[in-house]
Amino acid sequence: MKRRQYLAALGGVSGAVLAGCSGDGDDDPTTDGTTDSNKTQSDQSDDENEPQQDVTESDLEAIAQDFLEALVAESFEEAYGYASPAFEQSVSQNDLARQWESNITPLGEFVQFTSIEYQGEKQGFDIVGAQGEFADGRAEFSVQFDGEVIEGFVFNVNTWTPPAYVDQSVFTEQELTLAASGGCELGATVTIPDGSESVPGVVLVHGSGDQGRDQRVGPNRTFKEIAWGLATRGVAVLRYDQRPVACDIDRTEATIDDLITDDALTALERLREYDRVERTFVTGHSLGGRLAPRIAAQDDPLDGVIMLAPLAEPISDAIVRQSEYQLELNSNLTGQKRQAQLAQVEALAKRIRTLDIGDDELINLGGGERGKPFFRTLQRYDHVETAASLDVPQLILQGERDFLVTVEDDLAIWADKLAGDPEVQIRRYERLNHRFQPGEGMGRPSEWSEPNPVDKQVVVDIATFIREQTS
């Protein structure tokens, strides 16, 4: 029996819209997209197929249906009657109503649920999935249970449209499989410009969390938008599903190399198999940006490194800072509750900092479970010194509205060591958030659920940097 420690996301976004305590992630948690608090801890059965306690699968399906029908009717108060107090503290009824209005309402009139079925146990929670049909689209729902109580809720909608800066007529996409280590096969997509001339190539690397190749969040597809934007500008791009998404792995043994570095190296090797791809670059986002210099240090043919909002400060510090910000955003919390939740986060941060984590224990920061080897190897890796030792061009991009990876707490660390290096370029964007979406004021998790693609200037700057190295 494994000990699992969970944090409920504070209005976070995780592959879609996330409410409550969820491990499904298409975003980095504290380091890339979701800041978490509201800790709960439990020893739970590892049985992947049986619901907890005496609750039957049909019971959970019925509760999920009642919950979803209440949401469809926009009876949010009724829906929250099925949820735990931690759920409502994480995401208020008003916040969920806004997310629903931004993502589900545009799908038009509700038609029917085409399926509602128990999907087994995942990361300590029983999962009921549902498919909803609407007049103008479809939505996928995932309801997470602890016993009969709803602890988390995720939905994905099929409303993504390509950004205006994309020209689909000038590139082609190809699906492929990466033969990763340990017999793991990763689904991947290569977006390659049309023609016969040689082109540069880029591999996109996620941050922490369990994320698919498109890095979905609500109606947005961060990596797909970057890939299509770059391919429009003559750059081939390979993006892939993270190992935890593609394969059954032992998370208690997985290091940063197991989860990030090694698969990125495999992706670079595969991209070079394309005859037209002559020079290659790695682009990492958030924790993937932090790991990008490590990938480059182990890949001699690499021609350049691009870091998008790369985390620099220790992850334990980031957890506390990010949680403080999101707790202040939550108007439902009293000062006393806010301090109690922050104290829990600080206690967890101390455990991560001191590696006070059991060998069979998993820590979930909202985007996926990680064990002691992950945090240990992350601490041992000196990302700034590694970046400083590289002899390839580097580009660091940072949004000034980013509350997860900030100018003051993270970019300043990189700049202190690298700003004097003529091979390093640093660009800041006043109006962009962690996912490089434009807006006003400091970023908020809720804005990730609104249709708002990666800003064109970011794509242009990446393409320009690559052309400068290949001309």
The CA-CA-CA angle for residues 191, 196, 200, to 5°, reads 50
**pLDDT of res. 49:** 45
Distance from C-alpha of 406 to C-alpha of 394, rounded to nearest angstrom: 19
**pLDDT of res. 329:** 85
- Using one digit for the tens of pLDDT, what is the confidence trace for 6-38? 333 222 223 334 444 333 333 433 333 322 333
**pLDDT of res. 421:** 93
For residues 305-318, average pLDDT: 97
Give pTM, 2 decimals: 0.74
CATH architecture of 168-314+381-470: 3-Layer(aba) Sandwich (3.40)
Answer whether 40's CB lies under 8 Å from 8's CB. yes
Three-state SS at 185? strand
For residues 284-302, average pLDDT: 96
- Among positive and negative, which fits the CA dihedral 24, 29, 35, 40? positive
* Portions of the chain given CATH number 3.40.50.1820: 168-314+381-470
Q: How many C-beta atoms lie closer than 10 Å to residue 352's C-beta?
A: 24
* Portions of the chain given CATH number 3.10.450.590: 3-157
- Using one digit for the tens of pLDDT, what is the confidence trace for 412-457? 999 999 988 999 999 999 999 999 999 999 998 878 767 899 999 9
- pLDDT: which is higher, 109 or 5: 109
Query: Of 183, 113, 155, 128, which is closest to residue 19 (Cα–Cα)?
Result: 155
**pLDDT of res. 218:** 67
pLDDT at 42 over 50: no
Distance from C-alpha of 367 to C-alpha of 448, rounded to nearest angstrom: 15
**pLDDT of res. 415:** 97
Answer whether 398's CB lies under 8 Å from 41's CB. no
Task: Give the class (CATH, top level) of 3-157.
Answer: alpha beta
